[in-house]
Amino acid sequence: EQKILKEKIIPPELIYGAKMFRREMFHVSVPKNIYIHICGTDLIRDSRGDYYVLEDNGRTPSGVSYVLENRAVMKRVFPAIFGAYRVRAIEDYPLNLLQVLKDVAPAHAADDPTVAILTPGVFNSAYFEHSYLARQMGIALVEGPDLMVENGFVYMRTTAGLRRVDVIYRRVDDDFLDPLCFRPDSVLGVAGLMNAYRTGNLAVVNAVGTGVADDKAIYPFVPDMIRFYLAQEPILPNVPTYICARENDRKFVLENLDKLVVKSTNESGGYGMLMGHQAAQAEREEFAEKIKADGRNFIAQPVVQLSQHPSLCEDHFEGRRIDLRPYILYGDKITVMPGGLTRVALRKGSLVVNSSQGGGSKDTWVLEEPEEPAQ
C-alpha cells in the first residue's frame, strides 16, 4: 500500500534508490504478511551508560552460532556457575527457529512442511553457521544445484528421488537467488525460484527485498516508522545520523570528516567505513571524493565511545569495547532469545567489533527472576 511513502514519512527516493529495493516483490503476498522472520538488532551503550540502536539486520542476520557455541563451551568449563546464577537457557533457539520456519509454510504444506537451508557453499564465511543450524534443526542443508523448479514447485534432489521443498531459510543474497529474475550469471540460486515464491508455493525466510531494512540511509527513519505504524515512541533512540544524499547533511559531513564515522549504506562487517578521527588525511580526502560522487551511498554518525567490558588479554584483564546483538524470531508469535551475541573489539583502543575486522565474542547471560519467598 506504500502509505508511509505516500505520506512522505520516508522520502520515496531513498526507498526506490536503495540497492536492495526489489521491484520484483510488487504484488507478492508473503505467508502471514511477515517479511522479517529473523532479526538481529545491534545495540550499544555509550560511556555515560545510555543505550542506542546502532543498526538493524533484517536480511540475513548472522552470528547466532557463536552465541550457541560460546554457551556450550562456558557450560563445559564452568558448569557450577550456571546453576548458582540461574542463567536462562538459550539452547532451544534452533527449535524455536524451526517452529518459525514451519509457521510460515504455504497452506498446502502447513501440516508437515519440508524445510531447508539454502547456502552459497563451503567457501562462504558463514558456512559453519549454515551447517550448524541445519544439524541442530534436523533439516537439509542445500546449495543451488541441489534444487530444481517443476510445475511451479521447488524440489530437492535426494537419493530417494525428488522431494518438494516448502520453506527455504535462505542465506543467499537476493541478487543470486534466481538467475531468471536477478543476476543471470548466478550459480548459487535456483532458476524459477521466484516464480514458485510469487505463486505462493514456497516461503522464503527472510523475505526477498528485506535488504532495504539493512540500508543505513533508511535506518534514521525507523523511529518515524514506529510512530507512524504503532503510534508509540521508540523505547531506545537511534544514533544521530547524517544522510549524505541530503545536501545540507552532505555539506556538514564533508566539513567534519575528522570528527565523524562514515559508513557505506549497503556494506557490512566493518567494510566501507571511515573512522574519521583515526584516519590519515589522504584517506579522508579519498572518502570525501566518494561522498561527492555518490552521496546516496553514505551516511555519517558522531563517534560513540562504546562501553567497555573486562577481557582477558594474555595473562591480565583489560577493558575492550563491546556491542550486543539480540535475536528476535517472528512466526505465529514473537520470541526474543534470552541472551545474544556480545561482540568485542579485541584490539586495544579499537571501536570496531566485527569478527571480519578482528573482533571476538562473549557469552551473554540473562538471569532468571528471583523466586518469590514462600508466605
Which pLDDT tens digit goes with each residue over 305-357?
Answer: 999 999 988 889 999 999 999 999 999 999 999 999 999 998 888 888 887 77
Distance (Å, whole) CA 282 – CA 270: 20
Instruction: State the pLDDT at residue 373.
Output: 57
SS3 of 242, please?
strand
**Average pLDDT in the 1-14 region?**
91
Residues 173, 64, 366, CA angle at the centre, nearest 5°? Answer: 145
Per the structure block, which three cell numbers stand in for 5? Answer: 511513502
SS3 of 38, please?
strand
Instruction: State the pLDDT at residue 10.
Output: 94
Residue 228 phi/psi, 5-degree rounding, is: -70, -50
Concatenated DSSP letters for 194-227? HHHHHTTS-EEESPTTGGGGG-TTTGGGHHHHHH
Per the structure block, which three cell numbers stand in for 339? Answer: 541472551
Q: What is the dihedral of CA 78, 84, 85, 89, to 10 degrees?
A: 70
Read off the DSSP letter of residue 7: T
Question: What are 243-260's pLDDT values in tens digits?
Answer: 999 999 999 999 999 999
**Cα distances (angstroms) measured from residue 285 to each of 251, 296, 350:** 14, 18, 22
CA 142 from centre of chain: 21
Instruction: State the pLDDT at residue 196.
Output: 97
Q: Could you identify the residue written with the cell 505504524?
A: 229
Q: Could you identify the residue written with the cell 510512530?
A: 227
Instruction: State the pLDDT at residue 354.
Output: 82
Q: Are the C-beta atoms of residues 24 and 194 closer than 8 Å to each other? A: yes
Q: How many residues does the chain have?
A: 375
**Average pLDDT in the 68-90 region?**
92
Q: Are the C-beta atoms of residues 216 and 209 closer than 8 Å to each other? A: no
Read off the DSSP letter of residue 374: P
Spatial neighbors of 339 by CB under 8 A, at least 6 apart, are 67, 71, 88, 90, 326, 363, 364, 365, 366
SS3 of the chain: helix, strand, coil, percent, to 5: 30, 25, 45
Question: What are 18-63's pLDDT values in tens digits?
Answer: 999 999 999 899 999 999 999 999 999 998 999 999 999 999 999 9
The 10 Å CB-count burial string (b at 16+, else e) for 127-150 is eebbebbbebbebbbbbbebbbbe
Q: What type of residue is 27?
A: H
Q: Could you identify the residue written with the cell 533457539?
A: 93
Distance (Å, whole) CA 41 – CA 329: 12
Instruction: State the pLDDT at residue 314.
Output: 84
Closest CA to 270 of 170, 347, 327, 173: 347
Q: Long-range contacts made by residues 137-141, C-beta under 8 angstroms, separation at least 24?
A: 137/94, 137/95, 137/97, 137/98, 137/101, 138/98, 139/98, 139/115, 140/114, 140/115, 140/116, 141/116, 141/117
* Pairing state between β 341-344 and 161-165: unpaired
Provide the mean pLDDT of the chain.
93
